[in-house]
Structure 1
């Protein structure tokens, strides 16, 4: 009796250990829902009895809007954001009910399939110690088979029942999802307002984004409008450098202070000036074959983070780290919306997303009076790398091109910096030479992609 109880207790412990490990290593199961490819699995086990699941979006972990009962909760990873042919047909036919029902049903189906795989993996994990134990005891083959088979049956039953009980409402909660926006708490995309004015058929390329693309701090445009001045657009911006190199007519809509929400997708208030949504203006360029995008730093409040870092004893305190992570997660959602809109532009342009250059070199001595040290610069560099990772992963997921300008040897405190210093008009922004370096990186990316696909136009002069 004691031996049997010990054996049963050991099997129960083995089942729980196998279940814990299986949840961690079982691969997520892919499903196609609402034009998205989603991988469904389980998030790391939690101690609480209810809470949100986990959504992985462009390298950022975001709590799901729905809450789930039990410590085993779903983990959903968005891996593709293009509409497929079936979704496009359903949208054109107006069969929205079928589309929304498919989302929850497919997610629930993926979860059930993941549960089956998790049970199989747990059984496999239990098989190894059972086989090793019977082998060490030198048991006869018949008894070995009975013990191993009985143990596997018990472990499988305990795991299956445990997985069901610890995540009992998950399938139904996933079936209740009517759109992927339900998962992230984001409302469906509002239609982009149409900009007033005739089509701009002679525009070859369009630039969207913030002060990096506007060229803040560099030479002014020859005949700037009031909005050009308010947005700090420069003749030495990288879009203008590309225009000169390729004899293009470039529409530079970038504006200092712009975020995805306020500037690119929505209006931007600039004192007495109101900048219309950049994406709406871009749609007037009906023949544009290139769209260049520079977004992100204003969305994560990069300027505030740099200023706080300068006056603080250190930059990696928990408060500023949590603030940055929260802003980055919000930006990932807004960035996803922007990518979806860019993918539906009727002219199907080549989209280039510019990552941000690293302004800090190994020597930060010229920034000592501003309060910067090598340690502080390293923290800021790591946060910039996290932002760039979101930009890169999002662009690649959408089928666009991500470009990382290389300022190596020309960062702050170097002999010929590509970055404006503390005493310049727009600190940390690219100089005219830095803007040219960004333009060259974009030009090379466009040429490389043009050589890969004959449907792309030639980007040489």
Structure 2
């Protein structure tokens, strides 16, 4: 007797597989897995995929994606030197995948000159757009691998949880082993993994298509290099004749000028108009390093009006125009180091702290938006300042000083400087934490920009207002009872100078 066995044709199994996938798609563990892959896996991939480094027009540019947020549509982002991000309004993208362009320090070379040549700028801009497109596509393909890996990892995790759940339900049976459960669930886990990868790739493809469409639509409007990366101001020109005899110089605001201190004995130039003290940062620093140190700092100075542009001082009846501090720096010959103290005036620090003293809470969205706006403007101005300092004739060591906090953590609200005047609400711990956080954001910008250019960072450690105990040397900061609250005292200026002196290069300083 001949026994015949029917062999299932491969095509006959396909409908069964499809039905199994559809059934699996309706189970709550698989639905949970797909939600994890789409809602968490894709944002995680965007955040973790490394930027692609490019050389465009002689500049170092990295192409990637900005961190996802909850908005449906948003602009691409430009980070000029790794600092506060600036939106690119021309590149509006729907979905979570929004390009980000990171520019390094501006380089002056032949490739950059090509972009500025009217006869070749159109060709150079077109090549830059093509390179950006290629860089983003490469980043996207790398992210695709991340999407697949994330989906498989999530499927493995959920699959293990399903196996553990079955074992827990059937633990009363002595004949059920992990191998038995795994054999029973292996097909289910395989279908889960297939669905997770498929759905993740479909979602990732949709994100990529939306990002590509929005980016290309915006790039089609680019007609010049300034359209692509924005513009900047012309660097200040030197003012007056050459100046000799100084090893170092200090530029900055009232912290460096040391308002509230004794006036200099023999004032010169703008010493009186800028209220420079005999125990300023520059004066104290000159006692710690070889050679003379020139003080160019001036109260209320910002980068735009003070360092890179002239500043108005004096009264309305007797106005005084102080030349740009960078322009004065360019007069100086043989400089070995330059100290930079800037930032609080640019972001309106005095306005913020005054507001916090006067209202019950100062973390509202209005002031948050205003602070972010000022940080964005500061980022642009700071990038231009760093480029100016990098091009100083004698290539001095540039030392960027961070901004100190006003109050320590866990400040006693009964402290007079925290309580404020009788008519004020005063500072609570929440307000002090907010001020500290925003000062940290400012310092992050200062550090990142300095590091991008290879400049030195000095971080003064001062004894803050309302600090417990005493070291016997007096306060480092002037309190509210003084005309110049939150500015360094003579001791504070000395500590700041010591911090800078420790990082001055001995070969230069």
Instruction: Say whether the fold is shared (TM-score over 0.5).
Output: yes
| Aligned match of 1:74 | 98
| Aligned match of 2:487 | 429
Task: State yes or no: 1:441 paired with 2:461.
Answer: no
Relative distance call for 1:17 and 1:173 in structure 2 (3 A) is: farther
Conserved in 2, the CA contact under 8 Å of 1:12 and 1:158? no
| Aligned match of 1:202 | 245
Paired residue secondary structure (1:51):
strand
Q: Deviations over 1:275-309 (max 9, x none)?
A: 11111111111211111101101001111111111
| Aligned match of 1:112 | 137
Relative distance call for 1:286 and 1:102 in structure 2 (3 A) is: farther
Task: State yes or no: 1:158 paired with 2:202.
Answer: yes
In the TM superposition, residue 446 of structure 1 has moved relative to its aligned partner by 1.2
Match of 1:366 among 416, 419, 430: 416
CA distance, structure 2, for counterparts of residue 314 and residue 378 of structure 1? 12
Match of 1:18 among 34, 37, 43: 37
Relative distance call for 1:174 and 1:16 in structure 2 (3 A) is: farther
Paired residue secondary structure (2:147):
helix
Relative distance call for 1:206 and 1:173 in structure 2 (3 A) is: farther
Relative distance call for 1:298 and 1:14 in structure 2 (3 A) is: same
Task: State yes or no: 1:54 paired with 2:73.
Answer: no
Alignment map for 1:101-250 (pairs within 5 Å): 101-128=126-153, 132=159, 138=183, 154-155=198-199, 158-159=202-203, 161-172=205-216, 182=227, 186-195=230-239, 197-225=240-268, 227-250=270-293
Paired residue secondary structure (1:105):
helix
TM-score by length of 1: 0.83
Relative distance call for 1:91 and 1:401 in structure 2 (3 A) is: farther
| Aligned match of 2:295 | 252
Paired residue secondary structure (1:114):
helix
In the TM superposition, residue 434 of structure 1 has moved relative to its aligned partner by 0.9
Task: State yes or no: 1:294 paired with 2:294.
Answer: no
Relative distance call for 1:358 and 1:13 in structure 2 (3 A) is: closer
CA distance, structure 2, for counterparts of residue 175 and residue 268 of structure 1? 38
Relative distance call for 1:81 and 1:12 in structure 2 (3 A) is: farther
CA distance, structure 2, for counterparts of residue 388 and residue 5 of structure 1? 54
In the TM superposition, residue 187 of structure 1 has moved relative to its aligned partner by 1.4
| Aligned match of 1:348 | 395
CA distance, structure 2, for counterparts of residue 423 and residue 140 of structure 1? 74
Relative distance call for 1:160 and 1:384 in structure 2 (3 A) is: closer
| Aligned match of 2:88 | 64
| Aligned match of 2:363 | 316
Q: Deviations over 1:126-165 (max 9, x none)?
A: 3346664999673799x89996997588457625632333
TM-score by length of 2: 0.76
CA distance, structure 2, for counterparts of residue 399 and residue 200 of structure 1? 26
CA distance, structure 1, for counterparts of residue 415 and residue 155 of structure 2? 63
Alignment map for 1:440-459 (pairs within 5 Å): 440-447=498-505, 450=506, 456-457=507-508, 459=509
Relative distance call for 1:412 and 1:124 in structure 2 (3 A) is: closer
In the TM superposition, residue 242 of structure 1 has moved relative to its aligned partner by 1.2
| Aligned match of 2:176 | none
CA distance, structure 1, for counterparts of residue 201 and residue 436 of structure 2? 50
Q: How many residues align?
A: 447
Task: State yes or no: 1:303 paired with 2:350.
Answer: yes
CA distance, structure 2, for counterparts of residue 53 and residue 92 of structure 1? 25
| Aligned match of 1:453 | none
RMSD: 3.6
Match of 1:334 among 381, 387, 407: 381
CA distance, structure 2, for counterparts of residue 302 and residue 384 of structure 1? 9
| Aligned match of 2:50 | 28
Q: Deviations over 1:300-338 (max 9, x none)?
A: 111111111112123333333332232222212211111
Of 364-373 and 275-284, deviating more is 364-373
Paired residue secondary structure (2:340):
strand
CA distance, structure 1, for counterparts of residue 484 and residue 52 of structure 2? 46
| Aligned match of 2:167 | none
Of 295-304 and 367-376, deviating more is 367-376
